[in-house]
Amino acid sequence: FARLRAGVSRTSNALSDNLTGVLTKRKLDEETLDELEEVLLKADLGFAMADRIRALSKSRHDKGLGADDVRAILAEEVARVLEPVAQPLELDDAAKPHVILVVGVNGTGKTTTIGKLAHLFARNGKSVMLAAGDTFRAAAIDQLKIWGARVGAEVIAKSVGADPAGVAFEALERAQASGTDVLLIDTAGRLHNKGDLMAELAKIVRVLKKLDETAPHTVLLVLDATTGQNALNQVQTFREIAGVTNLVVTKLDGSARGGIVVAIAETFGLPINAVGVGEGIEDFEPFDPHDFAAAIAG
Ligand code: GDP
């Protein structure tokens, strides 16, 4: 929890300061309520949430509402929205391996998240294999190899320009042969070429199904919290082109707008498995709705 609280401190500090600024020694009149709503929107909590907090604050105003009461309302509401989506990534034990296709725009933290997840699974006694399916960038392949060495996972990689579906196929074949528990597949995230990316991801899925028709068992979208509202668009797009089933939100430590997690939860209802709170291997937190709500509300 300490790590999560530290990770979202930029969001909670900004929100807390702004809330204090709006609420101290002031009546909750329309003007103050407008300012309150603005503060919540600035933290990227989304319109639906900002509207509800405003309405709830107004309705409790008669009972001598103070700044801390608004904070309590905020924490309650955030937890209520996050509860149904905050879930750990469950592995299907019948799947050998459980295949996780990791998708997302370049730079959001896909490779890092794969490394962190691999570390987590390995620590829980699972054997892990990584597939370097982003064959467009040499750096992506190199980075994945570094993470593989760090967490003791075999990395299946080909040279730059190789067919990503070929890498995925070979990796699943090898993982099946060796009885590996989890296969994490990295992919390219060149969203400016949406049609190409869709075809590429579809082909990966098609070849995986030749070896295991239940694969991929998870399509994990990695989102960068610092991109704010863009993250919402990315969920929409990747849900269309890749059938996203689960989410991870990274870089909460680098963002004062961590409220975007709440907007994502409220808009899409997809399970959020974990949040990234730093570049290190341990900077990865299971997503606990109450801890997060408490951290956000300050
Ligand atoms: P990819 O292009 O999607 O594979 O992204 P990378 O995994 O290479 O990450 C891009 C950059 O973001 C790297 O410098 C990572 O160290 C950094 N990064 C990833 N996750 C986090 C996080 O949770 N917090 C912070 N501060 N940096 C992160």
| pLDDT higher than threshold 90 for residue 248 | yes
Percentage above 90 pLDDT, the chain: 71
- Is the predicted ipTM greater than 0.90, yes or no? yes
Mean pLDDT score, 250-275: 92
**Closest atom, ligand 1, to C-alpha of 222:** 3
Nearest CA to ligand 1 atom 19: 109
Nearest CA to ligand 1 atom 16: 279
Give residue 272's pLDDT: 96
Banded pLDDT at 1 (limits 50, 70, 90): low
Centre of ligand 1 from the C-alpha of residue 65, in Å: 41
Nearest CA to ligand 1 atom 14: 279
More confident residue, 208 or 16: 208
Q: How far apart are CA 295 and CA 32, in angstroms?
A: 24
Centre of ligand 1 from the C-alpha of residue 6, in Å: 18
Cis peptide before 271 (omega within 30 of 0): no
- Alpha-helix residue ranges (DSSP H) falling in the chain: 2-7, 9-23, 30-42, 47-59, 67-82, 110-123, 138-151, 164-178, 194-211, 229-242, 260-268, 289-297
179: burial class by Cβ within 10 Å (0-12, 13-18, 19+)? Answer: exposed
Q: How far apart are CA 146 and CA 228, in angstroms?
A: 29
User: Average model confidence (pLDDT) for the chain?
Assistant: 92
Tens of pLDDT, residue by residue over 55-113, are 998 888 767 776 678 889 999 999 999 999 999 999 999 999 999 999 999 999 999 99
Centre of ligand 1 from the C-alpha of residue 148, in Å: 16
Nearest CA to ligand 1 atom 5: 109
Q: Which residues are near ligand 1 (CB < 6 Å)?
A: 104, 106-112, 143, 189, 250-251, 253-254, 276-279, 283
Percentage above 70 pLDDT, the chain: 98
